[in-house]
Amino acid sequence: MKVGKVLISAEDISSKLEEMGKAISEDYRGKNLLMVGVLKGAFIVMADLARHVDLPVEFDFMAVSSYGAATQTSGVVRILKDLDQEIADRHVLIVEDIIDSGLTLNYLLKSLRVRRPASLEVAALLVKEGIQRVPLEVRYSGFRIGPDFVIGYGLDYAGRYRNLPYVALMEEGDG
């Protein structure tokens, strides 16, 4: 497999994240925001989105695993790294790279909700249209895309391509 057609350019991602960051800044004005990045995929989105958030925001990360090296969701979610801090009475914004089946996020939301945060919302750069297997509310979403497997901007294929500055499709072939 190799890098295929560019689906979303670096420029388009940048202006979308700026837009999302402005909305987040307005909505959380005067509140103590904790942004929670879901590793590994969200590390790039988190860094770039956060620089458009004009608030004294705090950060934490979780690591979960839902895929092996394959491109199919397994439905099995494991928490590999939990939050460092308590989130009771905190305004929590989960930052995701992509929502595919929604199983990962659904599991995360459930396990965080029982910790009684003041609020719990989701920001995702990409949402795959119409294939969520569970109903989800994504408060801040960047782009709706088709069902194809994509790479770049944090998204990997077998651990690679996360550093591409754009989102691309995969293509058959070497490299």
Active site residues: 100
Binding residues for ligand IMP restricted to 117-146, rule: CB under 6 A: none
Helix (H) or strand (E) holding 45: helix 43-50
User: What are the beta bridge partners of residue 157?
Assistant: 160
**98 lines the binding site for ligand IMP (CB under 6 A):** yes
Of 21 and 102, CB closest to ligand IMP: 102
**13 lines the binding site for ligand IMP (CB under 6 A):** no
**94 lines the binding site for ligand IMP (CB under 6 A):** no
For the CB of residue 33, give the shortest distance to ligand IMP in the complex, in Å. 21
Q: Is 113 helix (H, G, I), strand (E, B) or coil?
A: helix
User: What are the beta bridge partners of residue 98?
Assistant: 126
Smallest Cα–Cα separation from 139: which of 148, 127, 153? 127
Task: Report DSSP state, residue 28.
Answer: T
Q: By rule CB under 6 A, what count of residues binds ligand IMP?
A: 19
Integer Cα distance of 57 and 134 in angstroms: 30
**In 40-139, where do the E strands start and end?**
58-65, 78-81, 91-99, 119-128
Q: Which of 41, 62, 91, 109 binds ligand IMP (CB under 6 A)?
A: 41
Of 22 and 113, CB closest to ligand IMP: 113
Of 12 and 156, CB closest to ligand IMP: 156
Sign of the CA dihedral with 158 first, then 162, 163, and 165 last: positive
**24 lines the binding site for ligand IMP (CB under 6 A):** no
Residues that bind ligand IMP (CB under 6 A): 41, 66-67, 73, 96-105, 149-151, 155-156
